[in-house]
Structure 1
């Protein structure tokens, strides 16, 4: 979405909904609205405490044990339709979602990843983090579209529907030890290599330990000079 025309308008949703279920509905409605109207949408927020598993996790032999490992540590579990392996949200971890219209033929997958990765790096560098593309070996939710600074601190995924794409990601702000502690037994149960020391954070990279500042930096990087039509998450998910 970064690079949206200055005369355009982006629907911006701020905050999180009251429950995990309602919060997921907010993001889905954001994507649906983009598909229906062609208006881009964006939100950056702190999801409820949870471990979100990907489709590959749900098919793994150790999935039930992985869920038990998360839940026994106080993390409710959910399955998501976008992304790869498990990610942890502590309640202070930032997520972002960029909904963009998809033209005929559903092309542009690589371009959307490039745009999102560039925006994340720009946002974090603006916060004083020496962010760069890539990830250390045995990172959480391993993938080609990641951002690191003294460890992986952001992973990016994409889900494409007929009329709109949702490019989303997670950013570890300050509690990398907590993220690593819950993901270590989860990944062990799933049989996926994971190095707890590979987890980075915005604060560990020299940036602020303030999730709200990270949310606003991401919003500014993705939305750019476009107009903003701001709504609260509870209004969207009601």
Structure 2
């Protein structure tokens, strides 16, 4: 198992580092990465087809969230550059038409165990009108008893490798909800700001460091770590 830590100096370089996880898996070595990406709003490919896409990108940029378009996942996701975690687990694929459900289950269970060990009690699913809606999400109740989305998970499959990736909102719920509300509204999509949650609001840590360490351990599991690389030192 290869483990990649840290983030590269720029958004493009950081995205290239994650792409290399797939290359590692295609060569036969599974790979894991858990990190705090740069501040940004990552739009999905379906967002780019909407009439309000250009205006939504401008709205994100005006709020200090550089817009990018990603290849994995559905609708827009915001990263605050300080507390929002991203994670990715890549593994070789012998038959690309098989194993999708099993890969989702392994990663979802790993994230569940991570959160349970840190305080929150995650439940599968999401509230109505959540950000980046999908069938592989985790929610948690905050201190007021309101169920909010804290994790989204997506998967990209090639003929030789698969990447299961996602986002964990650790803290700064209000700031993320604010930019997402503006972006989704400009895209003409439904979003309930109150559906945006965080680990901290669900009685977990506000510091992403312990969440990152615990999640990395769970995603690696019983595998032997063959190398630990620094994203900043990658070519």
Q: How many residue pairs end up in the alignment?
A: 227
Shift of 1:210: 1.1
The structure whose RCO (Cα within 8 Å, separation 6+) is larger is: 1
Distance 2:96 2:196 in 1: 37
Shift of 1:105: 4.3
2:216 matched to which residue of 1?
Answer: 219
Return closer, same or farther for 1:105/1:200 CA change in 2, 3 Å cut-off. Answer: closer
Unmatched 5+ residue regions in structure 1?
1-9
1:54 matched to which residue of 2?
Answer: 44
Asked if 1:167 corresponds to 2:157, the answer is no
Shift of 1:192: 1.0
2:57 matched to which residue of 1?
Answer: 67
Structure 1's consecutive aligned runs of 4 or more residues displaced over 4 angstroms after TM superposition are none
Distance 1:69 1:14 in 2: 31
- What TM-score results when the alignment is normalised by the length of structure 2? 0.94
Distance 1:208 1:173 in 2: 7
Shift of 1:20: 0.6
Distance 1:181 1:95 in 2: 20
Shift of 1:235: 2.2
Distance 1:230 1:210 in 2: 22
- What TM-score results when the alignment is normalised by the length of structure 1? 0.93
Q: Report SS of the residue matched to 2:200.
A: coil
Q: Deviations over 1:168-187 (max 9, x none)?
A: 00000011111100000100
Asked if 1:108 corresponds to 2:105, the answer is no
2:14 matched to which residue of 1?
Answer: 23
What's the RMSD between the two structures over aligned residues? 0.9
Which of residues 116, 121, 124 in structure 1 aligns to 2:112? 121
2:71 matched to which residue of 1?
Answer: 81
Q: Deviations over 1:118-144 (max 9, x none)?
A: 111111111111111111110000000
Q: Report SS of the residue matched to 1:137.
A: coil
Where does 1:222-233 land on structure 2 (aligned, <5 Å)?
Answer: 222-228=219-225, 229-233=227-231
Shift of 1:104: 2.5
1:6 matched to which residue of 2?
Answer: none
Q: Deviations over 1:93-132 (max 9, x none)?
A: 1000100111134311111111111111111111111111
